[in-house]
A and B are shown apart, each in its own frame.
Chain A
Amino acid sequence: MPVCGYVVVPRPGEKERLRAALARIHECEVVPAENAEILLLVTSADTTREDERLRRQVEELPGVQALLLTFGEVDPDMTNEAGVLP
Chain B
Amino acid sequence: MTVIDRRDFLRRTALASAAAAAATLVPGATFGVEWLEAQQGPISWKKAPCRFCGTGCGLLIGISEGRAIGVQGDPDSPVNKGLCCVKGYHSVQALYGRDRIRRAMVRRNGRLVEVPLSEALDVVAERLQATIRDHGKDAVAMYGSGQWTIPDGYAALKLFKGGIGTNNVEANARLCMASAVTGFMTSFGLDEPMGCYEDIDHADVFVLWGNNMAEMHPVLFSRILERKRLHPDVRIIDLATRTTRTSYASDRSVLFQPQTDLALANAICHEIIRNHWIDDSFVREHVSFKKGKTDIGYGLEERFSFADEARDADFDEYVEFLDDYTSDLVAEISGVPADEIRYLASLYGDPAKNVVSFWCMGVNQHVRGTWMNNLIYNIHLLVGKISKPGNSPFSLTGQPSACGTVREVGTLTHKLPHGAVTSEDARKMAAEIWQVPEDRIPDKPTYDTVQMFRALDRGDIRFVWIQVTNPMVSLPKLARYREGALKEDRFVVVSDVYPTPTTDVADVVLPSAMWIEREGMFGNSERRTQHWEKMLEPPGEAMSDTWQIIEVARRAGHAALFPWTEENHIEEIWREYTRFHDEPDHRMASYEDLRARPGVMWPYVNGRETRWRYNAAHDPVADPDLGFDFYGHPDHRAWIWLRPYEEAAEVPDDEYPFWLCTGRVLEHWHTGSLTRRIPVLHRAMPKAYVEIASEDARELGIVNGEQVRLVTRRGSMLIEARVDYRGQPARGQVFVPFFDEALLVNDLTLDAYCPISKQPDYKKCAVRVERVGRGSS
A residues in contact (CB < 8 Å) with B? 1, 3-7, 29, 31-36, 38, 40-42, 44, 68, 70-75, 78-86
Contact = CB atoms under 8 A, between A and B. Distances in A.
A78 B3 CA distance: 21
Contacts of B28: 35-36
Given A7-B25, A80-B6, 13 more contacts: A5-B17, A29-B15, A33-B29, A42-B15, A68-B25, A71-B14, A71-B18, A81-B6, A82-B98, A83-B95, A84-B6, A85-B6, A86-B1
A33 B26 CA distance: 10
Contacts, number: 128
Contacts of B97: 79-80, 83
B10 A73 contact: yes
5 contacts: A3-B7, A42-B15, A79-B99, A80-B97, A85-B5
B22 A40 contact: yes
B32 A81 contact: no
A40 B31 contact: yes
Contacts of A40: 15, 18-19, 22, 31
A68 B23 CA distance: 13
B671 to A, nearest CB: 17
Dominant secondary structure at the B interface: helix
Contact of B680 (A29, A71, A83, A86): A71
B31 A73 contact: no
A38 B29 contact: yes
Interface of B: 1, 3-7, 9-11, 13-22, 25-26, 28-32, 35-36, 67, 89, 93, 95-100, 539, 677-680, 682-683
B63 to A, nearest CB: 13
Contacts of B1: 86
Given A31-B31, A44-B7, A78 B14 contact: no
B17 A70 contact: yes
Given A33-B31, A35-B29, A4 B98 contact: no
B14 A5 contact: yes
A1 B10 contact: yes
B98 A81 contact: yes
Contacts of B25: 7, 38, 68
Given A31-B36, A83-B97, A42 B14 contact: yes
Contact of A5 (B3, B15, B96, B98): B15
Q: Which of A68, A83, A84 has the most CB of B within 10 A?
A: A84
Q: Which of A3, A5, A36 has the most CB of B within 10 A?
A: A5
Contacts of A32: 31
Contacts of B6: 1, 80-81, 84-85
A36 B29 contact: yes
B18 A6 contact: yes
> Which 5 residue pairs are nearest across A and B when measured between Cβ atoms?
A5-B14, A83-B96, A71-B17, A5-B18, A3-B10
Contacts of B93: 79-80
B10 A34 contact: no
Contacts of A38: 22, 25-26, 29
Contacts of A73: 10, 13-14, 679-680
Nearest to B15: A42
Given A35-B29, A41-B18, A86-B1, A78 B679 contact: yes
Contact of B11 (A42, A68, A70): A42
B96 A74 contact: no
A76 to B, nearest CB: 10
Given A68-B21, A83-B539, A44 B9 contact: no
B218 to A, nearest CB: 16
A38 B31 CA distance: 10
A70 B26 CA distance: 14
Contacts of A68: 21, 25
A31 to B, nearest CB: 5
B32 A7 contact: no
Contacts of B683: 75
A74 B679 contact: yes
A72 B18 CA distance: 11
Nearest to A78: B679
Contacts of A72: 679-680
B678 A3 contact: no
Nearest to B682: A78
Nearest to A83: B96
A60 to B, nearest CB: 20
Contacts of B20: 70
Contacts of B677: 78-79
Nearest to B97: A79
Contacts of B17: 5, 70-71
A6 B22 CA distance: 9
A31 B680 contact: no
Contacts of A71: 13-14, 17-18, 680
A4 B14 contact: yes
A86 B682 CA distance: 25
Contacts of B679: 72-75, 78-80
Contacts of A79: 93, 96-99, 677-679
A34 to B, nearest CB: 5
Nearest to A77: B98
Contacts of B14: 3-5, 42, 70-71, 73
Contact of A83 (B18, B26, B98): B98
A44 B21 CA distance: 19
B674 to A, nearest CB: 11
